[in-house]
Amino acid sequence: MSNKSDLNTKMNELYKSMSKGQKLLTNYITDNYDKAAFLTAAKLGETVGVSESTVVRFAMFLGYKGYPEFQKALEETVRNKLNSVQRMEVTYGRIEKNVIARLESPKTKESLPKYLTLEQSVKLLNSVDGKNKERDYCILTLFLNCGLRLSELVGINISRITDENTLVVLGKGNKERTIYLNDACVQAISAYLAVRPKDGVIDRDALFISSRKTRISRESVQKIVEASLKKAGLDGLGLSTHKLRHTASTLMYQYGDVDPLQLKEILGHENLSTTEIYTHVHNDQLRDAVDSNPLNKLADKEKP
């Protein structure tokens, strides 16, 4: 097990059998592997809100001999994101670990987050069908309208949905965040609750229930999203549950007259720099629009 994809697979496979502390670690590492890679076991535990011994046991639970081996796997993931010059600096020890964690990839179009256009998002929602269509439609609607993380969505409890059309989720760092539900979300939740199983449900407070009448798992949600993307003809584009979060963020910024500070609060980002990548997407479109001006063609002609 030497890279993030292997580590993610392992965490997903074992997620249901994890303790509460291990799930908190999994959720944090999934969203912050570049930061987690350079934290000591004690610091990672402090950041997530668990003990150092829980972190060490977590590493061993995943099949590593100890925390140092687990940390090396995460460090390798960060190295894979560096450019060739930066890799040489790391090899010769010219870049300290805490500096590597802050290195940013070149700001090219390829580094911008993938997301669905408005038309593609509507196509995805309209493609939902099947015996669990109300549940699956609700899941996609919350992803696309609220920008929820996967861990936040599977953890939604009915008791945290208020009459004021708000929802409280448990976000990164075990911090609660209030989500404001628009009409589309309220209608989707209402339609799903009308058909949601009631008898024999094990976790009665869980909003989303699996066919086994337990809280739906991360893996199940990922499969639902993948199947829906395929049915809509949007598979093969490198999209995922997290890309639906990117989609919500981008659409809110492009169409909702939302400034970066507001978007930061909606998404639960710690740093504004994380949110600003969505403004870069929009700025690229603005640049393309300016470049499309027919007067731009005069640039190749000699000035009078």
Q: Is 102 a catalytic residue?
A: no
Crossing angle of helices 241-255 and 133-146, in 10° steps, is: 50
Q: Which of 10, 196, 242, 280 is catalytic?
A: 242
Q: Is 269 a catalytic residue?
A: yes
Q: Which of 149, 215, 218, 264 is catalytic?
A: 149
Q: Is 245 a catalytic residue?
A: yes
Helix ranges, 62-200 (H):
67-81, 84-91, 97-100, 118-126, 133-146, 150-154, 183-193
> What does residue 102 show for φ and ψ, rounded to 5 degrees?
-100, -5
Tokens 């584009």, located at residue: 237
Report in angstroms the alpha-carbon separations of 134 from 75, 196, 291: 41, 9, 43
Q: Is 231 a catalytic residue?
A: no
Q: What is the DSSP string of 173-192?
A: GG-EEEEE--HHHHHHHHHH
Distance of CA 292 to the CA centre of its chain: 33
Identify the three-state secondary structure at position 289.
helix
Q: Is 172 a catalytic residue?
A: yes
Question: What residues contact 235, with CB distance under 8 A and at least 6 apart?
Answer: 226, 229
Q: Which of 10, 204, 231, 269 is catalytic?
A: 269
Tokens 């953890």, located at residue: 155
Q: Which of 172, 218, 246, 264 is catalytic?
A: 172
Q: Is 196 a catalytic residue?
A: no
Q: Which of 245, 246, 253, 264 is catalytic?
A: 245
Distance, CA of 83 to CA of 109 (rounded, Å): 15
Residues involved in catalysis? 149, 172, 242, 245, 269, 278
